[in-house]
Amino acid sequence: MRFPFQRRFTIESALSLDQATSRLGESIGGTRTSLFERTREPFMGVLRNDRFDIIRTTYGRNSVRPRIRGQVEAEGNGTTLHGTMKVHELVLGFFALLVLGPWFFIGYVWLAGMILLLVLFGVAFNHESSRALRMLAEIVDAERSGFE
């Protein structure tokens, strides 16, 4: 079952498991102390053994950046990264309250506006997840990458 604002991805690389894990680890920085702090690494989060939980680093605030969770696996003559990209759970919870809460009091005009907002939110999420996939693919010199 596919949830809203969630995409599964696969990235295939000719790099060995150690090389791919090393490159991925080099591209992940720690959490920032300020929204406006600039970092060298394109992602922030954690990489433990062969699993990662990261989010793209931005300057300022961006609620539609996907939270990327996945695994690095040795496969054949290279490495494969499998995972999911989805909007952070807190953002979805806040958005659900925003959409569903006032509808009972305001009516159909509010509902139409919220549907439009959901569509725009979905378009922005698809753009951000595609951008994150391209960045991950570039880091591990991907031969092939895509969403399922």
In a domain, 1, yes or no: no
What CATH number has the domain bearing residue 15? Answer: 3.30.310
Higher pLDDT residue, 25 or 115? 25
Assigned domain for 126 exists: yes
Helix and strand numbers, DSSP H then E, in the chain: 4, 7
pLDDT digits (tens, 9 = 90+) for 20-29: 999 999 999 8
User: Structural domain of residue 31, as residue ranges?
Assistant: 6-147
Domain count, the chain: 1
Residue 103 lies in a domain: yes
**Residue 134: CA count within 13 A, CB half-sphere:** 6
In a domain, 33, yes or no: yes
Residue 69: Cβ within 10 Å count: 16
Task: Enter the pTM of the model.
Answer: 0.82
Residue owning tokens 């991925």: 24
Model confidence pLDDT, tens digit, residues 35-48:
677 778 899 999 99
In a domain, 132, yes or no: yes
Task: With respect to residue 125, please indicate whether it lies within any of the assigned structural domains.
Answer: yes
Any domain includes 92 = yes
Is 115 within the bounds of a domain?
yes
